[in-house]
Structure 1
């Protein structure tokens, strides 16, 4: 099935991904991990929530940690629209496609539209978020891996072709994709709004489940520093995959798990994709360099472990195809 042509004039304008709300079992433990190990800055906290931002971000938060009796699940994925009127246009758009919509109150945000995509991923769109003073030159605050900004989401989808078609219709553009040679179907795809390789990616598997949320760091050396820090603070078991360089995206990467099993990618060095007529790059599922440019295969856990979305029914993958998996 071919990659759909991008819709360059969508019904509403999504600017970029914005934030994620992760459900956790022990708020204090998760706070320590995200601030002392990863290096995020706390912007507000209560008995039930901790709000975090990365060092280059002016918006109030990119991560919300929420104390929950359902830890290891994901409450929603957040996106920012270009202007306020886009929220009303998004409301009309999703209703016309049979998706539920609701206006919800969210701390530190203006009007927020809650909906879901074609496979049930809970999405929230907003335009205004409280602005905070810049801290990117306050170098005394930098800790851990020195996260600069949220970069992308990756989600398991039971039907990647359907997911790509749905997001393409409201303006996401494919940069790279993996095709199963036998069936001609998509096994994975990387889609963007902000001009990087991806804001949203889809990987074949039982879904919807969050595969990972990724954060941009200054250099690959920051990843090496994080590994040394994790290895000497009792977090060796939280290191899942990497470091390495992806074939897809060309990015330097590391995958780790937080205390509740949410997968975090630490990420840098991908490329610019601003031109709207940029042709997507195709990869074959059996190419050993698609996962890691250096040829190292990913572990089985990377293809099987994900965190469920609250309220979304998980379905088995419709495509029975496998990439190369490490023994």
Structure 2
């Protein structure tokens, strides 16, 4: 199926991805992982939830941790340009027959809750509480020194449908993997903010959240994190990497938090601001597609992901498989 032409005049304007909310089984254990090990900054906490931001972010939070019985990804958050875009978004999703609800969220202006056709819970807002800059407070930098949230990657039961839906609301494809036998998309990377992706879609049982990624200054930060995790009880939480992706050209590391939510540490991809930038096509069987260099991805990387709250995943429509490490 061909990649859709970029929709340069979408029905409403999305600035970028904003934040993710995780339900966690042990709030203290998650705090130790995200704040003390990764180095995210706590902006609010109580007995039931913790809000955090990365070092370059002025918004109040990029990740929310909430105490719950079963680990889940509750929703993916996106920032819109202005108040009118909220009304336009409500009209667009309603016209598609998708549920729309206005919800109250701490530290955010009024927020629209909806989902994509496969059920991924999405939230859109315009304003978040602003905090003083801390990017030059180097005494606060620790762990992997995360600068900002970078992207989401989700399992989709039908990547062609996911790309078509998000293309409607202005997400442009930068790179994609096509299964040559069927001509269908196995994966696609789409963006709003001018990086390789804000949200990507990978073929698999879904919808599920594959990972959330944080941008770091250099590959050396990733090496420092590996040294730290291997000597502070987190060795088994290292899942894949370090290495360099073929797609995105990024230096990467994949780790799992105490509940199994997957986090990618990510740097060195490229800029995609030009609206007429042509997507890069990869063959599913190209061994350098997923890993330009480094060990192949393990089976867990292709099969495991975080369930979304209240969403039952379904089998994918495409049976093609990439290279999987033994």
TM-score range, shorter chain: over 0.9
- How far the C-alpha of 1:70 sits from its partner, in A, is 1.8
Structure-2 residue corresponding to 1:117: 116
- How far the C-alpha of 1:295 sits from its partner, in A, is 6.0
The TM-score normalised by the length of structure 1 is 0.99
The TM-score normalised by the length of structure 2 is 0.99
Structure-1 residue corresponding to 2:29: 29
Matched, 1:38 2:38: yes
Structure-1 residue corresponding to 2:149: 150
- How far the C-alpha of 1:296 sits from its partner, in A, is 3.3
Structure-1 residue corresponding to 2:218: 219
The 5 Å alignment of 1:72-221 reads: 73-221=72-220
The 5 Å alignment of 1:272-291 reads: 272-291=271-290
- How far the C-alpha of 1:312 sits from its partner, in A, is 1.3
- Structure 1, unmatched stretches of 5+, are none
| CA distance in structure 2 between the aligned counterparts of 1:125 and 1:218, rounded to whole angstroms | 28
Q: Which runs of 4+ in 1 moved over 6 A?
A: none
Give aligned pairs, total: 326
Query: Structure 1 residues 295 and 147 mapped into 2: Cα distance closer, same or farther (>3 Å)?
Result: closer
| CA distance in structure 2 between the aligned counterparts of 1:169 and 1:144, rounded to whole angstroms | 38
Aligned-residue CA RMSD (Å): 0.6
Structure-2 residue corresponding to 1:8: 8
| CA distance in structure 1 between the aligned counterparts of 2:213 and 2:108, rounded to whole angstroms | 22
Helix, strand or coil at the partner of 1:162: helix
| CA distance in structure 1 between the aligned counterparts of 2:290 and 2:54, rounded to whole angstroms | 27
| CA distance in structure 1 between the aligned counterparts of 2:118 and 2:5, rounded to whole angstroms | 21
- Structure 2, unmatched stretches of 5+, are none
Helix, strand or coil at the partner of 2:226: helix
Determine if contact 2:144/2:221 at 8 Å carries over to the other structure. yes
Structure-2 residue corresponding to 1:267: 266
